[in-house]
Amino acid sequence: MEKPNIYITRKIADELLKPYKEKFNFRIWSSENRPVPRETLLEEVKRADGLLCMLTEKVDDNILQHAPWLKIVANLAVGYDNIDVHAATKRNIIVTNTPDVLTETTADLAFALLLATARRLVEANHFIQNDQWEHWSPFLLAGADVHHQTIGIVGMGRIGEAVARRANGFGMSILYHNRSRKRDVEEDLQATYTSFDELWSKSDFVVSLFPLPEETEPLFNASTFGQMKSSAIFINVSRGQTVDGNALFKALQRGDIAAAGLDVFKNEPIASDHPLMQLENIVCLPHIGSASVATRKKMIDLCLRNLEYHFAGHDVLTPVK
């Protein structure tokens, strides 16, 4: 029996593929940093039995029409809004993602971004780099306390729960809003379920872990920021599409909220001359939420195991429902 042909849309270290080379024939895009061109992807899927792709690849109906042998798409991410799951299902193509293995790492990043923004760490680093540090003074680059403040978590999934556990360690009061109430989380993590309006108005830190909504209007808009405390800090590590970037810029510029920390943007990548990058009260990161070496290796291995399980005739480990 011929080995299945697997196309991988980004260069991956050979050591990670080695355990699977006896099972699959791999074809791999040559770059680790640049996405595969769409015309190349269209050509490669014509002979692929399986596809291991990144969030940067739009696997839509047109791509699937060019893939007569494709049986499974393994997406290297928790989110899968880059894939037309409905079109895949119509063609009996399985779609998988990588939940769980990145939960704690992404929560680490969310809390690191919260701390860095609150304590103005990037500003402080630039202060020294620009030779501005001449004397010590009591309120030099004074930021906001994190301990014993109120955190509002929007989206209490696995990552939200992990952020809440970290907040407990800082003695924070935890508010949350979720599509469904989670009483076990309330008991285990001393979290309080609130309406959106109450969360906006009472939180010192608002952390967005909300999945991409079906609504066209971004959840975080001028009205949302207008309801927050002027001392509030906004953190987004979920989806850039949930935020009205222009409204956030104006809110930060006018002082409607104190600061923001972002790991995701509606259109990525952003450039150094992006309006948000001109503000001092924001920390911007290049979508590195799960980017620890150990976690990225686990994500890749989970994709490969999903491919292995499927072609061995077993149920995949993490199917997209």
Which position has the token pair 């872990």?
209
Dig out the tokens for 203 from the structure.
Answer: 């939180």
- The residue behind tokens 């291995």 is 301
- Cα separation, 273 vs 255, in Å, equals 21
148 is catalytic: no
Beta strands in 165-316 (DSSP E): 173-177, 191-193, 205-208, 233-236, 259-262, 282-284
Q: How far is CA 305 from CA 21, 39, 158, 198, in A?
A: 12, 28, 22, 43
Catalytic residue (choose from 181, 268, 280, 314):
268
Angle between helix 103-118 and 121-129 (nearest 10): 60
* Catalytic, out of 239, 296, 305, 310: 239
- Euclidean distance between CA atoms 235 and 274, whole angstroms: 18
DSSP three-state, residue 321: coil
Lay out the sheet containing 259-262: strands in order across.
191-193, 173-177, 150-154, 205-208, 233-236, 259-262, 282-284
Residue 100 CA to residue 83 CA, distance in Å, equals 20
Would you call 215 a catalytic residue per the annotation?
no
List active site positions: 239, 268, 287
